[in-house]
């Protein structure tokens, strides 16, 4: 009799596990469908030449849906999502562009960072999903050879496309020194850029020129079953302005004594490497 009861209990347990697994899989499918729809609804590939396609974001349409959109990230590893900025780091942890629950959550900027990307280091968070979505495929950058083949990522903002060159890949604890985003002056920031290399997972051989602003991408990873943070940092390498926009605009740079916005002259696809 005991064996019979145990057998029934095991069958019920197996059924429960199957139901939970199917429910989880359904949440993943729904999340993927939502982001596929967002990509189709708010962006398009525009042909600018016979060989070149340009990525276009409908910012006005996005802002009508959610005023918290501050950019759009594209990475060779697979990330292709809007970037949001909430009032807290919990707001978009499991919430999508439409304000609905989403197991993938959203890609979002650290709530304490400025919305206008004016900080020397802007931190962006994204989940490490098992299916590789969001920042789930950023683990590819733990291989130095992958970084060599895919050295950049792009962040589209209303005023242009900002191309970032990856200079650092780290596995660290959350909230540690690499997450510093504000500095009193240029000297302290240059010191940070030097010290943060001590946390590198490997030597990329790349340094940040002239105290350029950076972006820090953060997601979870596991080392020997211990939860850590996989962090990828890139500095602004290039700014591609959208067709028809004025050539003169404000670009955030570091001055000698403080951080400030200085008006600079740029041309389309100008390299600032």
Tokens linked to 141: 């950058």
Say which of 17, 19, 94, 127 is annotated catalytic. 127
Q: Is 161 a catalytic residue?
A: no
Say which of 17, 161, 220, 225 is annotated catalytic. 220
What is the number of alpha carbons within 13 Å of residue 15 lying toward its C-beta? 6
Q: Is 220 a catalytic residue?
A: yes
User: What does the alpha-carbon distance between residue 239 and residue 269 come to, in Å, rounded to a whole number?
Assistant: 6
Active site residues: 127, 220
């Amino acid at each position: 009799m005991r064996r019979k009861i145990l057998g029934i209990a095991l069958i019920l347990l197996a059924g429960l596990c199957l139901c939970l697994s199917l429910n989880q899989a359904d949440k993943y499918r729904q999340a993927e469908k939502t982001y596929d729809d967002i990509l189709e609804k708010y962006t398009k590939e525009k042909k600018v030449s016979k060989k070149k396609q340009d990525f276009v974001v409908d910012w006005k349409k996005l802002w009508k849906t959610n005023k918290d959109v501050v950019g759009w990230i594209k990475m060779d590893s697979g990330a292709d999502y809007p970037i949001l900025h909430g009032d807290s780091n919990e707001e978009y942890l499991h919430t999508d562009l439409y304000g609905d629950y989403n197991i993938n959550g959203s890609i979002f900027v650290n709530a304490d960072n400025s919305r206008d990307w004016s900080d020397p280091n802007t931190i962006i968070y994204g989940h490490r999903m098992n299916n590789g979505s969001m920042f789930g495929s950023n683990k590819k950058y733990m291989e130095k050879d992958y970084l060599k083949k895919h050295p950049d990522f792009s962040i589209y903002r209303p005023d242009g496309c900002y191309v970032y060159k990856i200079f650092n890949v780290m596995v660290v604890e959350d909230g540690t020194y690499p997450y510093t985003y504000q500095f009193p002056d240029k000297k302290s920031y240059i010191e940070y850029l030097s010290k943060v290399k001590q946390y590198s997972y490997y030597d990329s051989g790349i340094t940040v020129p002239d105290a350029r602003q950076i972006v820090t991408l953060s997601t979870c990873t596991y080392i020997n079953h211990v939860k850590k943070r996989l962090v990828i940092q890139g500095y602004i390498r290039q700014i591609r302005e959208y067709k028809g926009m004025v050539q003169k605009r404000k670009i955030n740079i570091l001055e000698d004594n403080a951080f400030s916005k200085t008006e600079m002259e740029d041309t389309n696809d100008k390299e600032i490497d």
